[in-house]
Amino acid sequence: MADKNSFCALPLSRVKTIMKSSPDVSSISQEALFLTGKATEFFVQNLARVSLTNGRDRKTLQYGDLAEVVNTEETLQFLQDIIPRKIKASEYLEFSKRLEEEADE
């Protein structure tokens, strides 16, 4: 039976595909693949835990909880484009219109 610590919850074939999508990567050892998968798993668990702790409802994790943590924690701000705060379509249209007006000036 495999050791509990040698199991990765993420599909390593997907992790490998993502890693190989970088033009700088030519080959990936099994050890590097496993460690990258495991580190990613721990990162996602930590992000979920922090978001749940800081969220409005401590029993259910909502998208807004993730977005709030990503937008307030300096170390997570690299994820702002991936997990943005939700806004209404009307707010976006108003914002877009203001940007166009400023560009025309």
Following DSSP, what letter does each residue of 10-45 receive, concatenated? S-HHHHHHHHHTSTT-----HHHHHHHHHHHHHHHH
The pLDDT score that the predictor gives to residue 3 is: 54
The pLDDT score that the predictor gives to residue 37 is: 96
Compute the distance between CA of residue 99 and CA of residue 96 in angstroms, rounded to an integer: 5
The pLDDT score that the predictor gives to residue 5 is: 59
Residues 68, 82, 36, 10, Cα dihedral to 10°: 90
Amino acid letter for position 6: S
Structure confidence by residue, pLDDT tens digits, 13-58: 999 999 999 999 999 999 999 999 999 999 999 999 999 998 888 7
The pLDDT score that the predictor gives to residue 83 is: 93
Predicted TM-score (pTM) of the model is 0.72
Compute the distance between CA of residue 4 and CA of residue 79 in angstroms, rounded to an integer: 30
Once rounded to an integer, what is the mean pLDDT over residues 83-97?
89
Beta carbons of 75 and 46 less than 8 angstroms apart: no
Nearest to 76 by CA among 65, 60, 89, 87: 65
